[in-house]
Amino acid sequence: MDFRLEFPSEILSIVFQDLDPQDLISCSRTCWPWNAAANSLLYETISFYSHAKLQQFVESINDSQNHHEKCVESSISSHQPLGQLVKSVEIITGYSHHDDIHSYSTMLSRLASKTPNVHTSNLGLPILSSDTDSGVPFDWSNLASQWSKLTSLSLKGSFGYELEPYDLNNINDVFIRLQHLNITRCEDILTHMLPSLPTMPYLQSFTATVYHTSDYQALKKILQNCQNTLHTLIIDFHSYLRPLSVNLDDFKIGRKQLKAFGLMKYDDSQINITNFGDSLEHLEWWVYSKETDETLDQSIHQAMIKTSTLKTLSFAGNMALDHIPFVLDANKNSLHTFYLDHMEGNDLIARLQASNVRLYNITTLCIECMFLENADVRSLAEIFPNVEFLALCRNRRSREMTRSISSGSKRTIWRLERGEEWIATDALSHFQHLKALDKITFPELIDQSLSTYQQCVILRPKHKGQPSVIPL
């Protein structure tokens, strides 16, 4: 008697999406149809954090190709080579250790030759240095031909490690097809792009780090080249040695196509802007310099007050709070999402109350700071009366750790640990329209068993342009 149960592959894929990797592996060993459905999820996104794992995977792909040929001979049509299932590749590792750094270039080329359907990749740029065996620079042109469907690329720099220069020869061959490009912490890559400035007719989002004046000038020219398609721009200022003095009006942020803009500032650069335009819908601003920059605060805030279409506003880091109530009040008719990560976030709540600011259109609210109190929840319900999705978090900086890095120097790392529960459930009842709490908020409840709200996931606006709220 045949007890086979045949489910449509679409149903299997939906069911398998809720399984953890180990259960998916078990399902993949059940039968060929289940193997096909499970493998499509297991191998869709692959991440590597050591050269050994990357090499092991590349070898397994070769074995899978031989196995696929046997399946074809046996008329098992549901089986596909594992390499063809891969759509996203992440390799961020190894460049703080000098033992195997020169092997990544060759191994990535081998991987790319077996994974023709990759459309997204996140690579550690320093690991793609010259191979010590051949001495040949990494072949970006070959990667462009092997990953012909690549539309999203993120390259991460060395974060201060002293390594040999990156291999950037022919990297523009990869850039010309991209829709999304992130070249954060990649020193000199902006100026490298200029001599043979690629036409990027499809580029929609761009994230870049500015180290020097030459980077700033190069970025202006690059943006001119893709101004008709670009809708999201994030700039990271990291000019520690020689702080810059720049005017963001040079970037024409107010042009109609640009809908999302993010500014990250880690240094003492003097930045000015007069207007974000009336087309900008999502604005994110992070200030991580040690001292509060009052000049920058005033410039940015004055420009924000002039906007009329902002839907999402995100503040994080060390900025002055004085003007934020005016910014929120000026954009109260269009804002629907507000995110704040600030050491003195509770002080902002008091300022909003004192100014009698009421933001009726905001439905998604996320506040993170060290000293939030239960009384602040009631105040937030008065300031934001129509919130539907809420995230509150009170992380405390508990202790510092010292970690050695490859150069022999020490790095101090602050470890954030969650404090005691502090939100009383009755305080949440002041939000008349609340539907769900973010997962980070539930551990903050004094008595979680009394909460009748759904859990949701509020994806932070950082580096994402438009945030998403996903009720569960």
Of 113, 194, 427, 4, the C-alpha closest to 208 is 194
Neighbours of 279 (CB within 10 A): 16
CB 111 within 8 A of CB 141: no
Residue 149's pLDDT is 96
Cβ-defined contacts of 240-245 (< 8 Å, 24+): 240/266, 240/267, 242/212, 242/213, 243/267, 243/268, 243/269, 243/270, 244/210, 244/212, 244/213, 244/216, 244/269, 244/270, 244/271, 245/269, 245/270
Three-state secondary structure along 207-258? EEEECCHHHHHHHHHHHHHCCCCCCEEEEEECCCCCCCEEEHHHHCCCCCCC
How much is the average pLDDT of 172-199?
Answer: 84
pLDDT band of residue 374 (cuts 50, 70, 90) is very high
The β-bridge partners of 282 are 260, 312
> What kind and span of H or E run contains 285?
strand 282-287
Top pLDDT among 399 and 242 is at 242
3-state helix, strand, coil split of the chain in percent (to 5) is: 30, 20, 45
DSSP secondary structure code for residue 117 in this structure:
T
Look at 13-17, 61-65, 106-110 and tell me which has the smallest mean pLDDT.
61-65
Listed in sequence order, the DSSP H helices in 389-455 are: 425-428
CB 16 within 8 A of CB 38: yes
CA distance 139 to 127: 13
3-state secondary structure of 429: coil
Beta strands at 410-418 and 395-404: parallel, antiparallel or unpaired: antiparallel
Residue 81's pLDDT is 83
Residue 191's pLDDT is 83
Residue 463's pLDDT is 46
The fraction of the chain above a pLDDT of 70, given in percent, is 79
pLDDT tops 80 at residue 85: yes
How much is the average pLDDT of 1-22?
Answer: 72
Query: Residue for token digits 């020490």?
Result: 410
pLDDT band of residue 429 (cuts 50, 70, 90) is very high
CA distance 30 to 11: 16
Give me the residue spans of the domains in the chain: 336-472
- Measured at the alpha carbon of residue 175, what is the angle toward residues 184 and 285, in degrees to the nearest 5? 30
CB 278 within 8 A of CB 303: no
The β-bridge partners of 438 are 456
Decide: residue 367, CB within 10 A, 0-12 exposed, 13-18 middle, 19+ buried: buried
Residue 397's pLDDT is 53
pLDDT tops 60 at residue 464: no
pLDDT band of residue 362 (cuts 50, 70, 90) is very high
Top pLDDT among 123 and 419 is at 123
pLDDT band of residue 416 (cuts 50, 70, 90) is low
- Measured at the alpha carbon of residue 308, what is the angle toward residues 284 and 388, in degrees to the nearest 5? 65
- Measured at the alpha carbon of residue 271, what is the angle toward residues 266 and 273, in degrees to the nearest 5? 135
pLDDT in tens, 435-458: 999 998 999 999 988 889 999 999
pLDDT tops 90 at residue 254: no
pLDDT in tens, 308-333: 899 999 998 888 888 899 999 999 99
Residue 185's pLDDT is 81
pLDDT band of residue 242 (cuts 50, 70, 90) is confident
Q: What are phi and psi of 389, to 5 degrees?
A: -125, 125
Of 165, 275, 181, 193, the C-alpha closest to 230 is 181
CA distance 342 to 244: 25
Residue 182's pLDDT is 93
Residue 406's pLDDT is 45
- Outline where DSSP puts E strands in 14-140: 45-48, 88-91, 120-124
pLDDT tops 90 at residue 402: no
